[in-house]
Structure 1
């Protein structure tokens, strides 16, 4: 009786098809590295004022020449009748700051919490101009960061935790409630998680680190919406495409959404195309909504809110599409 030959291990992939897959994988990974480098490096290298809206007021003989000199690719200058109108425009977020010129000095109106780098550049510009006049520059910060975190370090650091907070529900809920039959349960879990995470994260930022001002519950709901924009979208991607969906989404958010969010600089400090893209992604929109609620009494909250709601709806649509794609045998029988 002849011995049965032992099964041989599958041979290593070879031939033109394997070579093509190898080349495709290498090129894809290289493209990912280039994308990551560009997303992190280019905004920093080319960062700076890009049509930052500022205001001027004072005698026309002084403001008009200064407007002509500043107005261009870096600054977008608007003239105001008086310092009160200029200050109102800063508080209404029509401009990031402005200068009130007078014979005895310059008053600088800034909103550091809205555009920290623009506020610093505007203050330096006023100091230089005042020095030439042998006068003084007085700074009025109309929307500062809280005293406990005057540089806004806690606010600027919120980007990556926000992204990871969106990834967690897709990773955990897909294991706890697997299968397309539980898609709706996972979506509901993502929404509930987002509300709890938004309240907890806001409590840390407002009470532990002192990085936020304003109404706690308004900020918490806004941050919860930001987490939901990510978590619901990731759960929907996982339900429809499997684990590759949220993995791809997480890569996009970390490689593009985080560096382009403008949390540390304000969006006007990024190149125009990068800035616009960043504000259409959940990290940038969530940061803008939190900035509006925490430091400007909700002024400017409408646009980022709509962006985040659109991402939540996108995730819900993906999730319900996956639920409807279940095989007929897997669906519960219809009641008669």
Structure 2
């Protein structure tokens, strides 16, 4: 009788207040998604982007004043003596580009592999310097670290950021639903990180031509980022259940991915958001992959430390979440043994 009544109730149309609550929830979710993915892009601008200016101090100060006039607070200038020192800072990923006035005629040095957006901004600066009194029609631009010829705009690297995050979340979802036990889940996440890293690096490097450098180093960067993402979400789910999975997904997808700065540069994101993004796996993973692909690993230390910390954090949460289950199994074992002996 009760079962038939419940079935009859299930076939009745939902009350309009329930429909209204669902519509309000969907509207809020759309607003959150739009804000998360659009706000960083709309508010991105050049501010405190590190560059080098090479040359004698008077000329460097003159260039700094011209930059402040053209883009107030746009650049954080590091003064160096010559072009060689500026190039060294670019290759070490301490600056995004440089302006060399050591030979008298200004020359702009760019590194599109570090950020196409910053490189384009510096090209605009070159045009502005060329309009200065006594300058030629335009200042020459020299590319120091270029993107691959098959992907000169870095589209593959920028577009691949979201699938990498989704891959880590998908791994966490399937492993928590289909695999039981802390050790099997952790082992599965690490195995997928390796196989997924091999596959993604091969596609980006050998098919799309979006990556240079060592294939194994690029694989390691992708694998570390994937493992950090999936294990941290698995750990949250192990400790907090569905709420933990939702928290991890929101952190990685709605915060980490939009604030990663992969398509522009972290320094171009509004306010503190770029710094926050580099402390999350998507941002750290994107910067690490640029370092391995185009800069021979220079500038990778911070990203490796961040990703390793997230990986260790995820494993610790998995262990903490698995302890109560292990204790329940151990507590149940003597009871089962007693029942078997009595039988």
**TM-score in terms of structure 2 length:** 0.84
The secondary structure found in structure 2 opposite 1:214 is: coil
Match of 2:34 in 1: 37
* Counterpart contact for 1:54–1:98, Cα < 8 Å: yes
Give 2:77's aligned residue: 77
Q: Distance in 2 between matches of 1:73 and 1:35?
A: 30
Shift of residue 231, structure 1, vs aligned partner? 1.0
Contact 2:113 2:154 in 1 (8 A): yes
| Higher mean displacement: 263-272 or 296-305 | 263-272
Query: What is the CA deviation profile of residues 130-178 of structure 1, one whole-angstrom value per residue up to 9, with x for unaligned ones?
Result: 2442244222222111111110000001111111211222222233323
- 1:171-320 alignment to 2 at 5 Å? 171-178=173-180, 182-320=181-319
**RMSD (Å), alpha carbons:** 2.8
2:294 and 2:89 map into 1 onto residues whose CA distance is: 15
* CA distance, structure 2, for counterparts of residue 62 and residue 109 of structure 1: 17
More helix by share: 2
- Which digits, 9 at most, give the CA deviation of each residue in 1:98-151, with x for residues without a partner? 111367743211111112211111111112212442244222222111111110
- Deviating more after overlay: 297-306 vs 74-83: 74-83
Deviations 1:203-251 (A, max 9, x none): 1111010101111111111110000011111221222222332233223
Stretch moving more, 69-78 or 23-32: 23-32
Secondary structure in 2 aligned to 1:237?
Answer: helix
Q: Counterparts of 2:3 and 2:115 in 1: how far apart (Å)?
A: 70
The offset of 1:23, in angstroms, is: 10
Q: In the alignment, is the contact (CA less than 8 A) between 1:113 and 1:295 conserved in 2?
A: yes
Cα distance between partner residues in 1 of 2:300 and 2:215: 15
Residue aligned with 2:316, SS: helix
In structure 2, distance between residues paired with 1:92 and 1:164 = 30
Q: Decide whether the 8 Å contact of 2:105 with 2:139 is kept in 1.
A: yes
Say how many residue pairs are matched: 322
Does the 8 A contact of 1:113 with 1:152 survive in 2? yes
Note closer, same or farther for the CA distance 1:235–1:62 as it changes in structure 2 (3 Å cut). Answer: same
Q: Tell me the equivalent position of 2:50.
A: 53
Residue aligned with 1:163, SS = helix
193-202 vs 37-46, which moves further: 37-46
Distance 2:2 2:211 in 1: 72
Q: Which moved more, 1:166-175 or 1:46-55?
A: 166-175
> What stretches of structure 2 of length at least 5 have no aligned partner?
11-16, 335-343
Q: Which sits farther off after the overlay, 254-263 or 286-295? A: 254-263
- 1:124 is aligned to 2:112: no
1:275-327 deviation line (CA, Å, top 9, x unaligned): 01111111111001101111111111111111111111111111111110116
1:159 aligns with 2:161: yes
More contact order relative to length (CA 8 Å, sep ≥ 6): 1
Q: Distance in 2 between matches of 1:204 and 1:69?
A: 43
Change in 2 beyond 3 A, CA 1:205/1:106: same
Task: Output the CA distance in 1 between the equivalents of 2:182 and 2:140.
Answer: 58
CA distance in 2, matches of 1:310, 1:230: 11
Moved more, 123-132 or 272-281: 123-132
Question: 1:59 deviation in Å?
Answer: 4.9
Q: Answer whether contact 2:266 2:274 (CA < 8 A) is retained.
A: yes
After TM superposition, list the pairs within 5 Å mapping 1:95-114 onto structure 2: 95-101=95-101, 105-114=105-114
Specify the alignment match of 1:66 in structure 2. 63
Which one is further off, 126-135 or 304-313?
126-135
| Structure 1 residues not aligned, in runs of 5+ | 13-18
